[in-house]
């Protein structure tokens, strides 16, 4: 009971210390308890602000917590990897990856299977190295996963180009514009759901350089 826990913690300093301890958070850092872990993380953030006048999470002052989360199990997995791959733990994972640099690697998501999850983390301002950005642009990204991205995810992806036509559109106007992405092997083109044009009058043509006709 989170309400009761906070009431007891406010009355007994030793219980408050226990509430924001690394060991208690570690017990909740499993997929089915990720909501509890997120709540504990927020208490640790408040504790760090009130007691130390700083930012971050009190629990991660202990480097042992990071080591425990990354420690491989018998199947070469880890508690942190299990959380990263659990869809219901995304809120917890996002916050930890953004605020705890030692756990901020996107390596596991730079694959065909997890391209959509990588885009989701980019929206959360997860830190990316130059090598990770380059990996996101590799053509190994799965086309099906890219097509599953929401508009907001797509426009935040590395290499995305967002273009908006003039408003209002000039009457009987014809606009020709060019876009170039050096080194790109393919393009994925999408239109925002609010995009519209006059039926049978407004036409959007897309050409490859050197082609006379586009579709």
Q: Tell me: the pLDDT tens digits for 100-159?
A: 878 877 776 766 667 677 777 777 666 666 666 665 555 555 677 677 777 777 776 666
pTM above 0.75, yes or no: no
pLDDT at residue 4 in the model = 81
The structure tokens listed for 61 are: 């002052």
pLDDT at residue 142 in the model = 63
Residue 192: phi and psi, rounded to 5, are -60, 150
The structure tokens listed for 166 are: 């003039």
- Read off the pLDDT of residues 2-19 as tens digits, 9 standing for 90 and up: 788 888 878 888 888 888
Alpha-helical runs (H) found in the chain = 2-11, 13-19, 22-28, 34-52, 63-70, 79-84, 90-99, 115-123, 130-136, 143-147, 151-156
Q: Is the dihedral of CA 141, 147, 148, 154 positive or negative?
A: positive
Most distant CA pair in the chain: distance in Å? 77
> 38 by DSSP, 3-state: which?
helix
pLDDT band at 215 (very low <50, low <70, confident <90, very high): very low
The structure tokens listed for 69 are: 């989360």
| 56 and 47 Cβ atoms separated by less than 8 Å | no
Percent of the chain with pLDDT over 90: 0
Q: What is the mean pLDDT of residues 23-52?
A: 85
The structure tokens listed for 45 are: 């953030």
């Amino acid at each position: 009971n989170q309400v009761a826990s906070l009431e007891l913690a406010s009355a007994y300093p030793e219980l408050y210390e226990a509430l924001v301890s690394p060991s208690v958070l570690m017990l909740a850092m499993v997929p089915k308890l990720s909501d509890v872990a997120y709540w504990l993380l927020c208490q640790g953030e408040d504790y760090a602000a009130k007691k130390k006048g700083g930012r971050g999470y009190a629990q991660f002052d202990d480097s042992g917590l990071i080591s425990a989360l990354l420690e491989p199990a018998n199947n070469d997995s880890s508690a942190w990897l299990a959380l990263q791959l659990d869809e219901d733990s995304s809120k917890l994972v996002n916050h930890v990856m953004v605020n705890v640099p030692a756990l901020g690697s996107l390596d596991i998501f730079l694959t065909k299977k997890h391209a959509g999850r990588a885009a989701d983390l980019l929206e959360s301002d997860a830190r990316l190295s130059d090598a990770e950005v380059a990996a996101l642009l590799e053509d190994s990204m799965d086309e099906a996963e890219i097509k599953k991205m929401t508009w907001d995810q797509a426009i935040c992806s590395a290499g995305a180009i967002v273009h908006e036509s003039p408003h209002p559109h000039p009457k009987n106007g014809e606009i020709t514009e060019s876009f170039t992405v050096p080194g790109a092997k393919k393009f994925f083109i999408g239109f925002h759901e609010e995009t519209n044009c006059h039926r049978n009058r407004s036409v959007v043509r897309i050409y490859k350089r050197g082609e006379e006709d586009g579709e």
